[in-house]
Amino acid sequence: MLKGMEFRIYPNRIQETIIQKTFGCSRVVYNSGLALRIEEYKNGNSIGYKETSSMLTSMKKTEEYSWLKEVDSIALQQSLRDLDKAYKNFFAKRASFPKFKSKHSHNKNYRTQNVGGNISVAGKYIKLPKLGYVKSKISMPVNGKINNATIKQTPSGKYFCVLNVEVPDVFYSNDGCMIGLDVGIKTFYTDSNNNILTNPKNLIKSEKKLAKEQRKLSRMVKGSSNWNRQRIKVARIHEKISNQRNDFLHKESAKLVKENQIICIEDLNVKGMVRNHKLAKAISDVSWSKFFDMLEYKSAFYGTEIIKVPRFYPSSQICGCCGYKNPNIKNLSIREWECPVCGTYHDRDGNAAKNILKMGLSLRVTA
């Protein structure tokens, strides 16, 4: 089982200089490889990783690019592997065409492989190629084989190291319950047991402060010292919102997989839903896709089964008692309704969650 472990690192000035050089060299190699592949394609040739790797070897031999030898050579090779993967994703229609990396980007990272034990954890330090022992905040034990490490810098200037660790397969037990979830914007979700989880709305709570600091930034001369200090202030607000959101999603997803054997959810087209400009910000803030992804990978640890109900299943319109379909409930403003056939009074979201659970269990039986 592969597990990603992220730790904050505190490089000294020399180590920070080497990290920044590696960021720059990886970007140059990636862009050079992309330019070569585009040029060869125009000439009617198709090349891959092997040809771009030969290009890197030739670049190192020239005086113009001799500074590429100063950084971790594996990191440069990995940037070309990332380029090759980006091309494969494009031709498989999983992503758009690769773009050139900007020198002015504030999201920087590079990846290096563990070769001969050059990546390890020792007490409060992480040993990394070319950097040596870097002071770190080790928040969890690293028990397993380290495959690779990704060094990244956030827009606020913090450094992190993400270790890809091969750990023994460990499985935990769950409480054996079954639940259906109907996600929303006002309430994060309503479950089939009529429990309601309120949406924390982290972005909305920080929106005024963010807008104030963003206005200050827009008045400053781009690239100046004051502009850079203000940019970091804005980045820290964004970072705090992201951390709050991720903390909430991790806690709730972990709680659900620990308590339930079966979790039924909707197969939502979130990418299509955010095209609605009136709801796009709210949908992005609630992060349904990330929440569902967390449920998926955490379910493997606890033996929880995630069942996705088809997106066009009218869970809100069907009476959970008699099965009558009420087309009037397509109107989202109707939050409560009474079934004209059996007279049962329904909360819109609670009824939808119960129907999602029923539909999910029926799909499981037929499968």
Model pLDDT for residues 56-95, shown as the tens digit of each residue: 999 999 999 999 999 999 999 999 999 999 999 999 999 9
pLDDT, mean over the chain: 93
* Residues 161 and 209 reside in one and the same domain: no
* Residues 209 and 103 reside in one and the same domain: no
The answer, yes or no, to whether residue 173 has pLDDT greater than 90, is no
Domain that holds residue 104: 2-166
Structure tokens that stand for 296 in this block: 């998926």
* Residues 17 and 157 reside in one and the same domain: yes
Confidence of residue 170 (pLDDT cuts 50, 70, 90): confident
Q: What mean pLDDT is predicted for residues 179-196? A: 92
C-alpha closest to that of 316 among 308, 325, 305, 303: 325
110 compared with 326, residue with greater pLDDT: 110
* Residues 179 and 161 reside in one and the same domain: no
Confidence of residue 367 (pLDDT cuts 50, 70, 90): low
The answer, yes or no, to whether residue 350 has pLDDT greater than 60, is yes
* Residues 162 and 285 reside in one and the same domain: no
Q: Which of 142, 166, 190 is the last residue of a domain?
A: 166
* Residues 69 and 93 reside in one and the same domain: yes
Q: Strands 159-166 and 196-198: what pairing?
A: unpaired
Q: Which of 119, 137, 166 is the last residue of a domain?
A: 166
* Residues 40 and 115 reside in one and the same domain: yes
Query: What are 313-332's pLDDT values in tens digits?
Result: 999 889 988 888 988 888 88
* Separation of alpha carbons 197 and 191, rounded Å: 9
* Separation of alpha carbons 189 and 294, rounded Å: 15
User: Which residues make beta-bridge pairs with 263?
Assistant: 179, 306
Structural domain count, the chain: 2
pLDDT at 335: 86
28: amino acid identity, one letter: V
E strand or H helix at 366: helix 348-366
Query: What are 112-151's pLDDT values in tens digits?
Result: 999 999 999 999 999 999 999 999 999 999 989 999 999 9
**Where in the sequence numbering do the catalytic residues fall?**
182, 266, 349
* Residues 44 and 98 reside in one and the same domain: yes
* Separation of alpha carbons 305 and 357, rounded Å: 12
* Residues 284 and 357 reside in one and the same domain: yes
